[in-house]
Structure 1
Amino acid sequence: MPSTTIAGRQINVNDEGFLVDPDDWTEELGAEFARLIGVEMTEDHWKLVNYLRQDYRAQGETPTLRRVSTQTGMPVKQLFTLFPGKPAKKMAYVAGVPKPKGCV
């Protein structure tokens, strides 16, 4: 299992750089993950990240883009604006939860 140092902490990540243990996540680490992928965090970004973490704890899996949009009231188009390219994957990465099923 690979490990890396991010935000001054040694953490275990998988081959794609996602946290192995979501409990290792902190807001500081999330902010650093965002910086690494070129995302500047705003209140809307944090709302999504906190939703993903809460939903993951409740459901045991990372929510899909559609679920995030429906549950947070943010249109999918806005999710693409906040996390350009692959929003579901990028949101999960920043939130420290596994990549959603079906994401490449």
Structure 2
Amino acid sequence: MSSKVYAGTEVSVNDEGFFTDPGQWREDMAAEIAQEAGVGDLTGRHWQVINFMRTEFAEKGTGPTVRALGKSSGVSVKELYQLFPKGPAKLAARIAGIPKPRGCI
């Protein structure tokens, strides 16, 4: 386990960069994580997905899959791949400060 500094706060992350304690995440960290991951500036649509991810994690203990995101977040699967290239569920979870969703490689 290692650590990273986002928004001036040191947080614990695993080898893939996912927060080991989602409680350490703050909204002001998301922009730095997104930049680091190559996503660029976060838009309202990005935040719609990020907030959905955090809500699903809080309710179910895991983040949603891409399929569930496409069905329930209000953002189509096609748009998810535009917003979060190279694996939307995995990348959105990392930016949202939650563990990698089950089923993500």
Q: CA deviation at 1:73?
A: 2.4
- Tell me the residue number matched to 1:66: 67
The residue that corresponds to 2:14 in the other structure is: 14
What does residue 24 of structure 1 align with? 24
The aligned counterpart of 1:51 is: 52
Q: Which amino acid letter does the alignment assign opposite residue 2 of structure 1?
A: S
Residue deviations 1:2-36, cap 9 Å, x none?
11222211110011111011111111111110111
Q: Which runs of 5+ in 1 are unaligned?
A: none
Q: TM-score scaled to structure 1, two decimals?
A: 0.94
Q: Which amino acid aligns with 2:18?
A: F
Q: Secondary structure at the match of 1:99?
A: coil
**C-alpha RMSD over aligned residues:** 1.0
What residue number does 1:86 align with? 87
Any unmatched runs of 5+ in structure 2? none
Percent identity, aligned pairs only, is 44
Tell me the SS of whatever aligns to 2:62. Answer: coil
Cα-to-partner distance string for 1:57-99 (whole Å, 9 max, x where unaligned): 0011111111111112221000000001111111000000111
Q: Name 2:35's counterpart in structure 1.
A: 35
Normalising by structure 2, report the TM-score: 0.93
Distance 1:4 1:84 in 2: 22
Deviation beyond 4 Å, 4+ runs, structure 1 = none
| Structure-2 separation of matches of 1:79 and 1:5 | 27
Q: How many residues matched?
A: 104
Contact persistence 2:65–2:104 (CA under 8 A): no
